[in-house]
Structure 1
């Protein structure tokens, strides 16, 4: 498959939360990310879809949430992404320990894993998160206009970890179809990464797979990851990827118009939902950089239903400063 287009790294991770206001308070107020888009789930327009990232929401910095008020908690297990990692400067780990303590967030670490120092913690819905200290992350732009000083700001996504019942099928998909390379292994965790112009194994290109044979199956609901998306450059390469997936008998969707990107979804053999998404057009197509995340944005095909949608959604305050009891 020598003509296979290259995936460029992580585009975004989408998880599920229960309370939109609490979610905004935690991710902007505690973690210092920028709320770059307030919209709705295009497949369920009476629920919020919130996007966080750096100043402009560059691909590779984005964590998004479907908001499911009143839904049950999910369960971590096999066939699931069980943790999402952000990269921070290696010198900032002590700052982050202090910040988590200040906001009453329980944490573990820093501990060593695959040669890196990692802090683990959970958000208010129980979503498993990590901060990975990385010495070469200074070239990545964080969001310096929020609650965290620019020198300590989260620089973007580092990677995700999958738990798999049948590790071999997932490994073959990553290496033989999607273009990942095996770069490290520790106990029952194997790390794969995409090769980029900046090198291999850098944050935002990595996926860890844990052999978890015999463990219970995960259930996707509140406090779990819904899917992970990988970057491609253009609509043309997205179509090429869809043809590759179809040829390999993956259950790939048609190209979906998500307004800020176009994408194709497919489950990998272990059941984890993957997405391939285009870098363009980005989040500034309907808001200026200064206005990002300040108003509810609907795609053009939903504008006629705006009044009905707004009436069904809970009101939001977009303040980034949480009260202690909110986190």
Structure 2
């Protein structure tokens, strides 16, 4: 593969009640809602983007919250854990914080010399916080006052793909995305993009006896990897097609351009461009405060808004208010 990704762009999951989703990711995890929009393929539901102050690639967790959606099943052919990076010394704080909110957390475990705290969101989505070591994660967190900045999430750390057999998935990661094998611990294989580190890692968990996963509420819909620009993405698509991979056309997602394909075990992957970003249709200080629609859906705004429940956002989602609350 002549084109390689620099790391994760975003992870998209399926949720249930959108207000409950907002409450957890903004108030409990301290992320910023950087965009309220809709699922462009099903505009009767939100597409909510959470991340750092500007929604930079590698910080993003996004959701399609469909109220009443049946609960999915974890298993092979899925991304089964989404991990965020936090300072190495913050795992104890997060454990106390989440338990104080009534969130059930697993015992802290050590993996690749890092402490890992695993828990679930209100829809059962498996999440983890990884206390990164070895010089720290220098990405700036969203400082909103709800989570002390010294403990705040820095961005995505890694995703875990569950598979029954490793070889075909490993080949896709190496020859389709340009990742490199980094380590192996029993049935867990780690691959890294670029120089590796938080935001550039994927673990492949080989579980031959696990059931096939079912994508629904509480599961990951797809995992997106970074491309710097549209020209690189187009060349990348051509290379994948030459390898015999079934790839979608390039789709306009307003804040980035996307192509989609599946790795052999079944997980849906995306290559998303870093550009143009979330400030294309609203200023940085106002990100996530109002519903934004792409031009082709704007004529349907009244009908779309009538279908969507109103969201109550904490004042801290506004940087100007958050700054006043900290002082």
Q: Could you say what secondary structure the match of 1:276 adopts? A: strand
What CA distance in whole angstroms lies between the structure 2 residues aligned with 1:146 and 1:316? 20
Q: Does 1:55 align with 2:53?
A: yes
Calculate the TM-score normalised by the size of structure 1.
0.94
Alignment match of 1:288 (pick from 283, 288, 307): 283
What CA distance in whole angstroms lies between the structure 1 residues aligned with 2:136 and 2:251? 32
Partner of 1:221: 216
2:4–2:178 CA contact under 8 A, matched in 1: yes
Q: Could you say what secondary structure the match of 1:88 adopts? A: strand
Alignment match of 1:268 (pick from 242, 263, 271): 263
Alignment match of 1:89 (pick from 83, 87, 92): 87
Q: Could you say what secondary structure the match of 1:107 adopts? A: coil
What CA distance in whole angstroms lies between the structure 1 residues aligned with 2:39 and 2:21? 16
What is the CA deviation profile of residues 283-320 of structure 1, one whole-angstrom value per residue up to 9, with x for unaligned ones? 01111111011000001111100000001111211126
Partner of 1:78: 76
Structure 1 moving runs of 4+ over 3 Å: none
Calculate the TM-score normalised by the size of structure 2.
0.94
Q: Does 1:129 align with 2:124?
A: no
Q: Which moved more, 1:124-133 or 1:186-195?
A: 186-195
What CA distance in whole angstroms lies between the structure 2 residues aligned with 1:12 and 1:131? 16
Alignment match of 1:201 (pick from 196, 204, 221): 196
Q: Could you say what secondary structure the match of 1:243 adopts? A: helix
Partner of 1:154: 153
Q: Could you say what secondary structure the match of 2:106 adopts? A: strand
What is the CA deviation profile of residues 134-166 of structure 1, one whole-angstrom value per residue up to 9, with x for unaligned ones? 133341111012411111110000010011012
Provide structure 1 residue ranges, at least 5 long, that are not aligned to the other structure. Answer: 322-327
What CA distance in whole angstroms lies between the structure 1 residues aligned with 2:64 and 2:24? 15
Alignment match of 2:299 (pick from 292, 304, 316): 304
What CA distance in whole angstroms lies between the structure 2 residues aligned with 1:5 and 1:161? 23
Provide structure 2 residue ranges, at least 5 long, that are not aligned to the other structure. Answer: 317-327
What CA distance in whole angstroms lies between the structure 1 residues aligned with 2:187 and 2:285? 45
Alignment match of 2:97 (pick from 96, 99, 118): 99
Q: Could you say what secondary structure the match of 2:298 adopts? A: helix
1:87–1:137 CA contact under 8 A, matched in 2: no
What CA distance in whole angstroms lies between the structure 1 residues aligned with 2:149 and 2:314? 19
What is the CA deviation profile of residues 56-115 of structure 1, one whole-angstrom value per residue up to 9, with x for unaligned ones? 000000000001111100000000010000000001111111111211111013210122
Partner of 1:13: 11
Q: Could you say what secondary structure the match of 1:239 adopts? A: helix
What CA distance in whole angstroms lies between the structure 2 residues aligned with 1:159 and 1:36? 21
Partner of 1:324: none
What CA distance in whole angstroms lies between the structure 2 residues aligned with 1:60 and 1:311? 33
* Superposed CA RMSD: 1.1
Q: Does 1:191 align with 2:197?
A: no
What CA distance in whole angstroms lies between the structure 1 residues aligned with 2:303 and 2:47? 17
